[in-house]
Chain A
């Protein structure tokens, strides 16, 4: 187990290194962060542009810039935490890592809520659908999942938004809200107000993201439920005269959850990069929005910083998925 972890750690570092190299090369080679200054009237002076070129390291070669970035990537401190990331400065000379940390907080709210809801939906939907295979309930759940999988995210989100606004107007609910919190409230609201406000802003984006995520997971849950139901030990339990519901609850469910847990862990890791489209539709200023801004500014360091953070989460959660898998299923030995 320990050896496995160490080996896995080393290969993860290598994967991250290569990832950073690819991302850096793609962005640095093609990006021109000075574009926006050229569009201005009056045009900035030559000296100003040269100053900016120097500031953005555009006067160095791409490889030199990458090396420079790499050797400054980790910062060691005497205090806690001992290591921190330094992704360089964005085009506004603000450190990328602290901006990403702030964005990560916002995105985490959405992801955490959406994953919890999606897990509940997919477990209930998948198990019911699997147990009642071929029955009307299975057909309708299956049809719904296919429908959800076929919908472009933003089209679905726009539909949801339409409906929520109609409901806001006619039933005076407060379903649809833009943003992750009421703008400016953090500067004058009390902390309980802020908490309540943040929770109420979660509703619609959570529903939207959770449904689309769950659509894929329900298929997994249904498949594994069917597989488990056909397993010999289930037949045996039923043959012994145990009630069908008890069999499913006591023996079936736990085993049927294994694949879902690992898939969910892997998907969750990928979501930390931000649900880019969901964030855009509901005007959340999370990781996805950070990426959008960084791309629009042609901001190499911000984009690469973003890529690194999301890659770290992907790698981490993949590792976690393997550990979970081994922990739940004793037949798996990690070595």
Chain B
């Protein structure tokens, strides 16, 4: 009796556990459209996309951009040299000219271009792309969910010259030098009118606000690239998305049968081992010393390290009683040995690493000028004389104190970023002999709201170390340096700035052509150096590593991501 009871219970437990386990083997077959042959598995190291619409915050993620490099195409493409280039499949020409002081952009659409559901791509779609994005201010009838209205808000009117030609006219006196960026992937996608047009501005906005939650894939009618993402190919629990060829694509079909995008996380060890073991064919993680040397040991793997659009920098809070003094900010900048810092951090895994001397135009970008001048080398004597000049005195412990306060600063940074930890600890060790005390605070709340005292927004920090992302669109840097009085939208955390700087930045945003814009950007950067509100350190490297049996893979360090030319990848 006793035995039977216990056996029955054990059996129940076992059976229910098996039943639970059995539920897992669902999912079905289903082949893919004939494209090329071969499967490339890409190990995504950031996050799993939450939304596939790149126009909204939820879709403004590296993972989304990587995935959609060749799914949602713009008229222009972000090239590896951080410039825009027209995509001949999408448009046959795109020009900008000044007519009576007004900028006129003329785009001729490739007549063969069609959406994934077979409908032709016409000038109406381009005009709609502008209309739907010209404002993100609900008070003006705009859609708050939109990430940015910059540029589109400077277009005065649009005209459909024909079904395949469209003309945009900008507001008089407000030309937009980065107009190509408005129609450049991965964020400047062309909106398909028959998908996005819901009849009213309000309904359109509701559609955009909801976006495309990842599980549902992208509607065929919105796809204009060689790959497509269908709901069937999104596996949310396994964090896997499979790209299959877009059957309606008019240009050259992808040479692979499919690309599998799986989230493998940022752990360097996992990344190497997944690649080494053939679980994934391509990885794009944050480079790290052991990762790089481990990859070098793996056979049949090609690795390329480049310097990307993220750059690390220090932000000085000019509202801090000590940092309010220009001389103290300058002294810190002189005291940091940036070449040595770069050598021990990013220089440890790439000999190409250099000190960054410009915040607006990056070292890998055309037109880069190093404005660091005197700051290019560590100058302890200069730093110390600047400190004595303001009235600081060196104490018996070897540290200065100024106006009765010890010259000690906390550098805030994010949690769990070994490169940043290393950077701050190296800076601390460099500044100690100079007489400046540095401590690190790895704060999970650095980007939190104003209620967290040490967040950037709350202005409760002294010095902060984090990264900004450079883009081909120089004008988008303006909000980071505009003074609070001059319309800085809350991202100039240093709260520094000057009227002269504001003037140059505003001129840059409405420069008539790219050359003027570049000159203004360089002028603005020089002014930031003079005011020493931020100190650029280095561009963050990117690491692309892939199984050598695949050909045609090359890094694109812009936000277009490593799959930017995935339609031309081949296996063999």
A194-B25 in contact (CB<8A):
yes
A44-B9 in contact (CB<8A):
no
Would you call A134 an interface residue if the criterion is a C-beta within 8 Å of the partner chain's C-beta atoms? no
A45-B242 in contact (CB<8A):
no
Min CB distance B359 to A, Å, is 13
B233-A109 in contact (CB<8A):
no
Would you call B274 an interface residue if the criterion is a C-beta within 8 Å of the partner chain's C-beta atoms? yes
Would you call A84 an interface residue if the criterion is a C-beta within 8 Å of the partner chain's C-beta atoms? no
A180 CB contact (under 8 Å) in B13, B238, B267, B469 = B238
Stretch from B26-34, B403-411, B425-433 that touches the partner: B26-34
State the CA gap A39–B413 with chains docked (Å): 13
A108-B264 in contact (CB<8A):
no
Chain B residues closer than 8 Å to A323, beta-carbon distance:
9
B20-A165 in contact (CB<8A):
no
State the CA gap A158–B270 with chains docked (Å): 10
Min CB distance B421 to A, Å, is 18
Would you call B548 an interface residue if the criterion is a C-beta within 8 Å of the partner chain's C-beta atoms? no
Interface string of B273-313 (1 = CB under 8 A from A): 11011011000000000000000000000000000000000
Would you call A306 an interface residue if the criterion is a C-beta within 8 Å of the partner chain's C-beta atoms? no
Given A47-B144, A108-B17, A191 and B28 touching (CB < 8 A)? yes
A35 CB contact (under 8 Å) in B265, B276, B445 = B445
Would you call B358 an interface residue if the criterion is a C-beta within 8 Å of the partner chain's C-beta atoms? no
Interface size class of A (residues with CB under 8 A): 35 or more
Would you call B119 an interface residue if the criterion is a C-beta within 8 Å of the partner chain's C-beta atoms? no
Given A45-B144, A183-B280, A187-B233, A94 and B213 touching (CB < 8 A)? yes
Would you call B236 an interface residue if the criterion is a C-beta within 8 Å of the partner chain's C-beta atoms? yes
Would you call B94 an interface residue if the criterion is a C-beta within 8 Å of the partner chain's C-beta atoms? no
State the CA gap A297–B238 with chains docked (Å): 18
Given A187-B30, A324-B9, A178 and B21 touching (CB < 8 A)? no
A45 CB contact (under 8 Å) in B24, B48, B136, B273 = B136
B27-A187 in contact (CB<8A):
yes
State the CA gap A6–B168 with chains docked (Å): 73
A112 CB contact (under 8 Å) in B17, B31, B447, B456 = B17
B489 and chain A: residue at smallest CB distance: A43
Given A32-B452, A43-B491, A45-B136, A158 and B269 touching (CB < 8 A)? yes
A181-B17 in contact (CB<8A):
no
Stretch from B50-58, B176-184, B324-332, B369-377 that touches the partner: B50-58
Stretch from A15-23, A65-73, A99-107, A139-147 that touches the partner: A99-107
Would you call A136 an interface residue if the criterion is a C-beta within 8 Å of the partner chain's C-beta atoms? no
A182 and chain B: residue at smallest CB distance: B279
B274 CB contact (under 8 Å) in A32, A34, A198, A283 = A283
State the CA gap A160–B311 with chains docked (Å): 37
B449-A34 in contact (CB<8A):
yes
B490-A179 in contact (CB<8A):
no
A283-B265 in contact (CB<8A):
yes
Chain A residues closer than 8 Å to B262, beta-carbon distance:
179, 183-184
A105-B260 in contact (CB<8A):
no
Interface residues of A in 146-171 (CB under 8 A from B): 158, 161, 165, 168
State the CA gap A181–B21 with chains docked (Å): 14
B455 and chain A: residue at smallest CB distance: A38
Chain A residues closer than 8 Å to B213, beta-carbon distance:
92-94
B277-A178 in contact (CB<8A):
yes
Interface string of A218-236 (1 = CB under 8 A from B): 0000000000000000000
A184 CB contact (under 8 Å) in B60, B150, B260, B264 = B260
Would you call A244 an interface residue if the criterion is a C-beta within 8 Å of the partner chain's C-beta atoms? no
B237-A106 in contact (CB<8A):
yes
A108-B279 in contact (CB<8A):
no
B489-A176 in contact (CB<8A):
no
Number of A-B contacts (CB under 8 A): 186
State the CA gap A108–B240 with chains docked (Å): 20
Chain B residues closer than 8 Å to A36, beta-carbon distance:
447
Would you call A48 an interface residue if the criterion is a C-beta within 8 Å of the partner chain's C-beta atoms? yes
State the CA gap A186–B457 with chains docked (Å): 44
A112-B24 in contact (CB<8A):
no
B257 and chain A: residue at smallest CB distance: A188
A197 and chain B: residue at smallest CB distance: B25
B20-A186 in contact (CB<8A):
no
State the CA gap A212–B30 with chains docked (Å): 40
Chain B residues closer than 8 Å to A50, beta-carbon distance:
144
A188-B145 in contact (CB<8A):
no
Would you call B530 an interface residue if the criterion is a C-beta within 8 Å of the partner chain's C-beta atoms? no
Would you call A238 an interface residue if the criterion is a C-beta within 8 Å of the partner chain's C-beta atoms? no
Min CB distance A322 to B, Å, is 11
B277 CB contact (under 8 Å) in A44, A91, A165, A187 = A165
Chain A residues closer than 8 Å to B457, beta-carbon distance:
38
B270 CB contact (under 8 Å) in A42, A283, A324 = A283
B29-A112 in contact (CB<8A):
no
Would you call A195 an interface residue if the criterion is a C-beta within 8 Å of the partner chain's C-beta atoms? yes
Chain B residues closer than 8 Å to A190, beta-carbon distance:
29
Would you call A285 an interface residue if the criterion is a C-beta within 8 Å of the partner chain's C-beta atoms? yes
A187-B235 in contact (CB<8A):
yes
B209-A181 in contact (CB<8A):
no
Would you call B96 an interface residue if the criterion is a C-beta within 8 Å of the partner chain's C-beta atoms? no
A106-B277 in contact (CB<8A):
no
Interface residues of A in 193-211 (CB under 8 A from B): 194-195, 198
Chain A residues closer than 8 Å to B32, beta-carbon distance:
188
A-B contact pairs, 16 of them (CB 8 A): A32-B445, A35-B447, A92-B214, A105-B24, A109-B21, A112-B18, A178-B270, A183-B41, A184-B240, A187-B232, A187-B242, A280-B265, A285-B237, A324-B6, A324-B9, A327-B9
A51-B209, A99-B237, A109-B24 given. 13 additional CB < 8 A pairs?
Answer: A38-B449, A43-B489, A43-B490, A92-B51, A106-B237, A108-B21, A112-B17, A178-B273, A179-B238, A184-B240, A187-B232, A198-B24, A265-B13
Report, nearest first, the 5 A-B pairs whose CB atoms are least far apart: A47-B144, A184-B260, A183-B262, A186-B27, A102-B237
Give the interface of B toward A (CB within 8 A).
2, 5-6, 9-10, 13, 17-18, 20-21, 23-25, 27-32, 39, 41, 47-48, 50-51, 57-58, 60, 136-138, 144-148, 150, 209, 213-215, 232-233, 235-240, 242, 258, 260, 262-265, 267, 269-270, 273-274, 276-277, 279-280, 445, 447-449, 451-452, 455-457, 468-469, 476, 479-480, 489-491
